């Protein structure tokens, strides 16, 4: 963690990757304005809060502002995609729409790394903080797989489609079932997973090329998102192995 306006400003100016910034509600001066502008430009989520409410933080040590330093460096999606095409690889991306549980996120990252995903894409707001717990649950996968943080997932999904990447929404809210094999998952692909709370945003579902449901035989209406990501990514890998892609 970094405490205080000046140290946070210095960290931003030095290009350090911050996960989230909290400013004490009511503080407004030239430094807070600079922090706000730099945080916005770098896609770093920021909240104005009564800081004393944050875990383990007292009036004495916060000095008006607290920032969490990210244990990973976020990567730019466009250059990752360009690099994959240049290397002759068939891109496989995993887009996570507001996964908020840190352990779910870590476990999804582990599935992704094990099953051949080239990069994970998360929104800059409303997603789990990438912290020590996420790193631990990922079994180190978060040190191996690039993570891209995007300000606007709608624009990102549109960009992916325009770049030749097929967007497949993994959702229980469709009749199209995965086991039919009706959708070819061997081309450039982005798998979209939805939040624990309310699934994939309707506006993202509209952009997707296909929606696919993992068949279920029980009474509960959906799988845990990490489990669902594992099943969906296994099917992608299975199709690619069968085709020799």
Ligand X SMILES: C[S@@+](CC[C@H](N)C(=O)[O-])C[C@H]1O[C@@H](n2cnc3c(N)ncnc32)[C@H](O)[C@@H]1O
Residues of the shown chain interacting with ligand X in the complex, contacts defined by CB under 6 A: 170-172, 193-194, 196, 198-200, 213-214, 216, 222-223, 225, 228
Smallest gap from Cβ 85 to ligand X, in A, equals 27
CB nearer ligand X, residue 85 or residue 210 = 210
**What's the min distance (Å) between Cβ of 225 and ligand X?**
4
First to last CA, the chain: 44
Burial class (CB in 10 A: 0-12, 13-18, 19+), 200: buried
Write down the least CB distance from residue 233 to ligand X, Å.
Answer: 12
CA angle 207, 210, 212 (to 5 degrees): 125
Q: Compute the CA torsion angle 152, 158, 160, 162 (nearest 10 deg).
A: -150
**Any idea what DSSP says for residue 178?**
G
CB-nearer residue toward ligand X: 45 or 230: 230
Nearer to ligand X, 8 or 108 (CB): 108
CB of 194 to ligand X, least distance (A): 2
Residue 139, phi-psi category: left (phi > 0), alpha (psi -120 to 50), beta (remainder)? left
The nearer residue to ligand X, 34 or 196, going by C-beta atoms, is: 196
């Amino acid at each position: 963690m970094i405490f205080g306006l000046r140290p946070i400003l210095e960290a931003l100016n030095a290009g350090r990757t911050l996960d989230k910034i909290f400013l004490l509600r009511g503080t407004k001066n030239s430094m807070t304005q600079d922090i706000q502008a730099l945080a916005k430009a770098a896609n770093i989520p920021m909240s104005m809060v009564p800081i004393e409410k944050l875990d383990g933080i007292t009036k004495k040590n916060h000095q008006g502002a607290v920032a969490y330093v990210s244990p990973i460096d976020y990567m730019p999606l466009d250059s990752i995609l360009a690099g994959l095409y240049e290397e002759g690889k068939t891109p496989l991306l995993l887009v996570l729409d507001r996964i908020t549980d840190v352990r779910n996120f870590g476990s999804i990252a582990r599935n992704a790394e094990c099953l051949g995903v080239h990069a994970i894409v998360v929104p800059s707001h409303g997603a789990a903080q990438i912290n020590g717990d996420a790193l631990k649950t990922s079994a180190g996968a978060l040190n191996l797989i690039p993570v891209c943080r995007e300000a606007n997932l709608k624009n990102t999904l549109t960009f992916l489609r325009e770049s030749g990447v097929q967007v497949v929404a993994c959702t229980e809210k469709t009749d199209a079932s995965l086991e039919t094999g009706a959708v070819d998952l061997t081309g450039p692909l982005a798998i979209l997973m939805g939040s624990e709370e309310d699934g994939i945003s309707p506006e993202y579902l509209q952009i997707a090329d296909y929606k696919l449901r993992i068949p279920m035989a029980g009474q509960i209406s959906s799988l845990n998102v990490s489990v669902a990501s594992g099943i969906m990514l296994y099917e992608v890998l299975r199709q690619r192995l069968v085709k020799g892609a």
